[in-house]
Amino acid sequence: MKWESDQLPLKCSKCNANNIISHQEINDLNIAHLDCDSFYASVEKRDNPNLQQKPVVVGGSEKGVVAAACYEARKYGIKSAMPIFKAKKLCPQLIIIKPRMEYYTKISREVRFIMERITPIIEPISIDEAFLDLSGTQKLHKCIPAISMLKIQKEIYKSIGITVSIGLSYNKSLAKLASEQNKPNGFFVLGKKEAEDWLSEKPVSIIFGLGKSTVKKLNSVNIFLCRDLKSSPIKDIKNILGSNSEKILNISKGIDNRPVIRKNKTKSISVETTFSYKKDDDKLKNELHLLCLKLSLKLKKKNLFGKTLTLKLKTTNFKLITRSVSINQLFHMAHHIYSKAEELLDKELKNSKNYRLIGVGISNFMEESSDHYELKFEDKTIQKKNKLENAIDEINEKIGFNNITVGRHFHNN
Ligand SMILES: [Mg+2]
């Protein structure tokens, strides 16, 4: 279908499909955003066809919140992050499924694997969405990026059994906005010519990175739409957005020069775990310790030594907290990672105890050899701990992870 720049791309006049197969700028658009549709719920429905037409959410227990709501459930007004009890009130026959995070991660890797067939420049931004830069892929695939994206959309459905929505544009923020327009199984294209007008009529809340409170402040000075943002005195905007003013103003005009960053060269390694019920301090520390063992194992396998440790926590209200610390001795051994991570966790436990996610990561990697690394520790106790950990690693390598571990996990096994 051909359409004019003042029309929104809706349906194909030939086949009535939502997928746009032609657009005046279709040959020039290289930046895509791919987003799995209600990912966790779709995976659960795929595995259990009886659930297909039923309203389903994936989420915690009675006190928990909705992590993903299928499109049937959304008809009742159920949304992500809504408390389960509220969702149940809206839809008494709602089916609630406990999350299987490791399983979803595995499926996410399968999706990633298919994306890698069309470009190496992939920037995942969460378990179920990623940016792709398809510049220069046309020769290789003998088709324009739009067709490549349509092909993988079909392929993901055929081989994995879930639908994804795709946004295609000339920069990241527009590609992301585009992927949200036609969900589920959507394909939406935003070209340079229509982008600014298209954005003008949209509320400022659609600008990625603007929090609810910032939007409220903008509304209080009569800035509701992106159009208002552009026509408001810069002083008003700067008062509210501070150093981000220029970036946000640009995005509201369709300008965003951030490149898609290929996440191939390891920049950081992290592990995390979610839970649907409140854990006491000791149990939370046990989770953290187990994560540190896993993280260290990953670092050892890749021979990585990092300067910076980051602790990640998510409260039951979905507030994300990250705390980082950098050291000269480099993080590599589990006991060492844990001792610093525990320090950070202890500080946070003074503020709140209601967490639904804990994670730990290492970044800022340095060139280092294992032998040289050992020399960094003069402390005899640390040397002993290193030795013990190396011995445990050796045995585990033969018989599998976590078969031999330290005392604190005995009760978990
Ligand atoms: Mg999604």
**Given this chain, do its domains 39-101 and 268-412 carry the same CATH topology?**
no
Instruction: Determine the CATH number of domain 31-36+105-196.
Output: 3.30.70.270
Mean pLDDT per 10-residue interval, the chain, length 413 residues = 43 58 87 96 96 92 79 94 92 93 86 94 87 94 94 96 97 96 93 94 88 88 93 87 87 93 78 84 91 91 85 90 88 93 94 88 72 60 83 71 57 39
How many angstroms is it from 172 CA to the middle of ligand 1?
A: 16
How many angstroms is it from 57 CA to the middle of ligand 1?
A: 14
Q: Tell me what pLDDT residue 396 has.
A: 72
Query: Residue 404: phi, psi to the nearest 5?
Result: -115, 130
Choice among 25, 44, 72, 129 that is catalytic? 129
Residue 239 burial (CB count, 10 A) = 12
How many angstroms is it from 258 CA to the middle of ligand 1?
A: 21
Residue 348 bears catalytic tag: no
- Give the domain 39-101 fold: MutS, DNA mismatch repair protein, domain I (3.40.1170)
Q: What single string gives the DSSP state of each residue in 74-103?
A: HTTT--TT-BHHHHHHH-TT-EEE---HHH
How many angstroms is it from 129 CA to the middle of ligand 1?
A: 6
pTM: 0.63
Architecture of domain 268-412: 2-Layer Sandwich (3.30)
Q: Tell me what pLDDT residue 413 has.
A: 33
How many angstroms is it from 146 CA to the middle of ligand 1?
A: 20
How many angstroms is it from 357 CA to the middle of ligand 1?
A: 19
3-state helix, strand, coil in the chain (%, to 5): 45, 20, 35
Given phi > 0 = left and psi -120 to 50 = alpha, else beta, which region is 221?
alpha
